Amino acid sequence: MKNRPDVRRSGPTSIRLARRGTSREINRQIAFNLIRTRQPISRADLARLMGTSRGAVTVLVNALIADGLVFEGAKGEAPRGRKPKFLYLDSRRRCVVAIDVRPTRSFLMITNIVGESLVGMTSFPTDRDPARLVAKLAEKIRDTLARHPELGRCDGVGVVVPGMVDGTGTRVLFAPRLRWRDVPFQEPLAAATGLPVVIENAGKACALAQASSARGEPAAPGGLVYISVSDGLGVGIVTNGRILRGQHNAGGEFGHIPLALKGPRCACGVQGCWEAHVSNLATISRYLGRDLDPGKPIPDEMATLTVEDVVSRARQGDASAVAALRATAHFLGAGLAAVVNAVDPARICLSGEITSAWDLLEPIVRAALDARTLEPIRGRAELVVIPPQELPRLRGAAALVTAPAFAAPVVA
C-alpha cells in the first residue's frame, strides 16, 4: 500500500539526524520540482535557479533521467557556444487512473503524472453496494486501459470519496450519503485491478492537488483551505505544508458543523449542518420546494435535475431558481466565515458546479462572509474559484498517486 500522500512529509515529530546522502536527496527533489514547474529548462538555467554549479546539476539531472523522471528534448538557441538541451518532466507512456465517487454518479478519467487528461472523462451511476461498485470500477479501469495501450505503464489508481477515510487509507469509515460505515475499499479494488490504489476524502484530495500544483504557483504561506461543493460538502485544509488530518483522519470536517440547530436534516443524522444548507442536493430541494429526507433514496426528480439546470433557469429569469441560488450563497458565505475564524487561512479555494453562477453568487457570499468574520482578519483571506471545467475532484484523485513523487523527502 502506498503511503498517505501529503504536500510535505517531514515535520517536527518526524525529523531525525540526517544520514549521508540526505542533502543530495533534497537537492534532487528541488531540481525535479524546478524542472516540473519551469519546463522546458536548460541545465544552465537550472543551476542558476538552484545557486549551484553546472557539474552538481548534471549529477542530479543524470540521476533523474536514469530513474525515468526527466528527459532531454529539443535544443534551444544560444548566442554562442553549444546549444543547450531542454529538460522536461517525463510523463511519456505513464498514466494514472482518477476516480471520483459521488452518491449519484461516479466519474473516471485517465491522466498523465501531472494530472492532465489523456482519456476524456466518463461517468456512470454509482452502485451503493460497495462490492458491486468495486467490480464495476475494476471493469471500467481494465477496459479503458486495454483500449489505450499507447498510454503505457499505469502508476496507480486514485479514488476520492464523499466521506471519512481511515488513517491507513484502506477503509471508508463513514460516507453518509452512500450509507457506508467501515467499508473496506482500497484492498478489494487493488486486488481486482492489480494496480496500486490510494483512496481519500474528496476535500482533502482537492487540497492536496491545489497545494502540489504543477503550475508553479507559489504556495500560500498562511495555509490553504479547499471547499468542494457537490452532492455533499468536502473541506480540506493545508497548514505548514501538510494536510490537516487529526487523530482519526477526520480533521477539517467543517461540512458537519451546524449553521442552525433546527435547520434541514443532514445525511450524517444531525440537523442544520453546513452541508445540509449548501450541497447540490440542498440547492435542488430548495428550488423544488421539497424537503430532502437523507434517510430515504433520492427522489427521481432530484436525481435527474442538476445544479447546472437551476443555474440555467436562474439566468432565464426563473424566480424560484434565483431565490434558491441566493439562499445557497448566503449559507455558503456564513460557513466560510466559520472556517476563516477557526483556521485564518491565506487562501480559500472554492469549487463545484454551483460556481458556474459565481457572477450571481459572489456579492452575497462575500457579504455573508464579511458579516461573520472577526474584524482583525476580515477580508484577509484570498478567495479563489476553481472552474468546474478544470475537474478539480478528478485532479485531486490523480494527485493521490502523483503527489508523493513531488513531495520533499523526509530527513531521516
Q: What is the pLDDT of residue 405?
A: 58
Q: Determine what percent of the chain falls in helix, strand and coil, rounding each to the nearest 5.
A: 40, 25, 35
- Regarding whether 169 and 138 lie in a shared domain, the answer is yes
pLDDT, residue 351, reads 95
39-61 pLDDT tens trace:
888 888 888 888 888 888 888 88
Residue 38 has what pLDDT? Answer: 82
Report pLDDT digits (tens) over 161-173.
999 999 888 999 9
Q: Are residues 54 and 182 in the same domain?
A: no
Q: What's the rounded mean pLDDT across residues 71-83?
A: 63
Any domain includes 3: no
**Of 44, 59, 90, which residue is a domain's last?**
90
Residues 278 and 158 in one domain: yes
218/163 same-domain check: yes
Residue 40: left if φ>0, alpha if ψ -120 to 50, beta else—which one?
A: beta
What is the secondary structure of 332-352 as a DSSP string?
HHHHHHHHHHHH--SEEEEEE
At residue 85, φ and ψ (nearest 5 deg) are -95, 135
Residue scoring higher pLDDT (295 or 188): 188
Split into its structural domains, the chain has a count of 2
Q: Which three cell numbers stand for residue 124?
A: 456512470
User: What pLDDT does residue 75 have?
Assistant: 61
Say if residue 14's pLDDT is above 70.
no
Question: What is the extent of the structural domain holding 274?
Answer: 93-407
Say if residues 44 and 34 touch (Cβ distance below 8 Å).
Answer: no
- On whether both 76 and 160 belong to a single domain, the answer is no
Residue 79's CATH number: 1.10.10.10
Q: Could you say which of 69, 90, 111 is where a domain stops?
A: 90
- Cα–Cα distance measured from residue 124 to residue 137, given in angstroms and rounded to the nearest whole number: 10
In this structure, the answer to whether residues 249 and 336 fall within a common structural domain is yes
Is residue 111 located within the same domain as residue 68? no
In a domain, 145, yes or no: yes
pLDDT in tens, 217-246: 445 567 899 999 998 999 999 988 788 988
Q: What is the pTM of this model?
A: 0.82
